[in-house]
Every structure is written in structure tokens, then in C-alpha cells.
Amino acid sequence: AQKVTQAQTEISVVEKEDVTLDCVYETRDTTYYLFWYKQPPSGELVFLIRRNSFDEQNEISGRYSWNFQKSTSSFNFTITASQVVDSAVYFCALSEAGGTSYGKLTFGQGTILTVHP
């Protein structure tokens, strides 16, 4: 069975601080995808990034960066110089790759990030 754990329930920072959101996953599959989604106060789910199990290259997109380490089964998300607009709930998710698995995501519990001005 797959499992995603986001141990940080809530994080509070002051604007311009860097913050890292942790994600640890469990799967028996050798081929899988990892995702991060953002849920702002308006409630919609916004896709941020996808990483497949064969690609451990870290990714940077503006103030966002992601660190994928298969050795520790982690896919952590760092926001550099946080802004108030980053305040949201962030979800890490996992799916198998291939076959009938693409539509089946296993989500972590979510981390509520609050950025204070």
C-alpha cells in the first residue's frame, strides 16, 4: 500500500524567511510519480510540480525548489523568500505509473503554511 506523510501540520513564518515543507512517501512500486499541489484560501487545487521516480534531479522554479531523494523516500519543497501570497495548504501526493494508475493519487495530510507580513 502507498502512503504519504507530511509531518508538519502547520508552519508559520515571517515574510522573506525561507521555509521547507517535508514529504516522506512509501511505495512498493519501482515506477511512480510524485506531485505537489497548492490549495490557497479560495479552495482550488493548483498543480505545482511532478517528478517521476527515475528523475532525481532537483528542480528550481523561481522562488520554489524541490529536492527528491529516493534513498530517504523524500520529496521536500522549499520556498525561498516567502511572501504572504504563499499562504496556503500544500499537499504532497504519489501515484503509480502506468496501466490504470494515473488517476489514483495518494495524498499526504497537508501542511498549512501561514506567511505573516
Partner 1 sequence: NAGVTQTPKFQVLKTGQSMTLQCAQDMNHEYMSWYRQDPGMGLRLIHYSVGAGITDQGEVPNGYNVSRSTTEDFPLRLLSAAPSQTSVYFCASSYSGAVPEAFFGQGTRLTVV
Which residues contribute to the site for partner 1 (CB under 8 A)?
4, 6, 9, 33, 35, 37, 43-45, 47, 50, 91, 93, 95, 97, 100, 102-110
Closest separation in Å from C-beta 51 to partner 1: 10
> Which residue lies nearer to partner 1 by CB, 18 or 55?
55
Q: How far is the CB of 108 from partner 1 (least distance, A)?
A: 6
Characterize the bridge pairing of strands 106-107 and 3-5: unpaired
**Please, what is the minimum distance in Å from the beta carbon of residue 43 to partner 1?**
5
